[in-house]
Amino acid sequence: MDLWHYLLLTLCGAVAGFVDAIAGGGGLLTMPALLLAGLPEQTALGTNKMQACCGTALAVRNYARGGLIQWKDVRLGVMWTLVFAALGAWTVTMVRTDFLRRIIPWLLLGIAAYTLLAPRMGSEKRAALMGAGSFALLGGAVLGFYDGFFGPGTGSFWTVGFVLLLGHELRQATAHTKVMNLTSNLASLAVFAAAGHVRADVALPMIAGQLAGAHIGSHTVLKNGPAIIRPVLLATVLLMAGKLLWEA
């Protein structure tokens, strides 16, 4: 690769780390950048998981230090997500993902509509509509597998799930979402690495950018809460839906 490829990857990593720490969707930038750099699709997926793990891990650390993560509330979800994300990543090495490209945009548009029509979404904690154990199994199985298999919009689905079904306040929902994202990224990375679909040399400049972006993004959430999360969530969801619809 040329020098400009590495510079582009570093910049993409920084912007993606910032967006991911707030609302997810950084793959909108990083995956096209990796494909533009000439990586095959599966290698781009594996390399993307490697760089994303680093930024997400830093965001999780910052959210934990800020008191937003209740580990007892996420441990079951982590367990189920770990198992099903690995299964999803293994599956994607065997089959094509074309059918998901036609379904997911409409689910993302549904999230966008809900975010627009519920301006107080996650503004305060409320009663849960589902037991924590059931939510952990459902989310871990469905979203864990989906993140390992395809990925776009996973963070948005987790965040809305934490708010709607568990009654989380939006900042805590965002923090717990990052824990789940980190879990599925690590599980997927292990599978892609075992299959030889990771380019560490390409991931390194992106990791540098990811760490900077995730640090700024997570501190922005800690300081501003829903005031920053809602517009970034809405923008990234609409962009992801538009991109997937265009590709389909």
Q: What is the mean pLDDT of the chain?
A: 87
The single-letter code of the amino acid at 240 is M
Percentage of the chain exceeding pLDDT 90: 51
User: Token pair for residue 204?
Assistant: 């390194």
List the Cα angle 215/221/225 in 5-degree steps: 175
Q: pLDDT of 132-184, one tens digit each?
A: 999 999 999 999 998 888 777 788 889 999 999 999 999 999 999 999 999 99
> Under a CB-based contact definition with an 8 Å cutoff, are residues 81 and 144 in contact?
yes
91's tokens = 């599956």
Stretches where the chain sits below pLDDT 50 are none
Expressed as residue numbers, the domain containing 66 is: 3-247
What is the number of residues in the chain?
Answer: 248
| Whole-number Å distance between alpha carbons of 247 and 121 | 30
Q: Quick one: pLDDT at residue 213?
A: 95
Q: How far apart are CA 83 and CA 144, in angstroms?
A: 8
CA distance linking residue 217 with residue 236, whole number of Å: 14
CA 221 centroid distance within chain:
16
pLDDT attached to residue 58: 96
Q: What letter would DSSP give residue 123? A: S
Angle between helix axes 41-65 and 200-224 (nearest 10 degrees) is 30
Q: How far apart are CA 230 and CA 23, in angstroms?
A: 8
Give how many domains the chain has, as a whole number. Answer: 1
pTM (2 d.p.) = 0.86
Tokens at residue 85, please?
């994300």
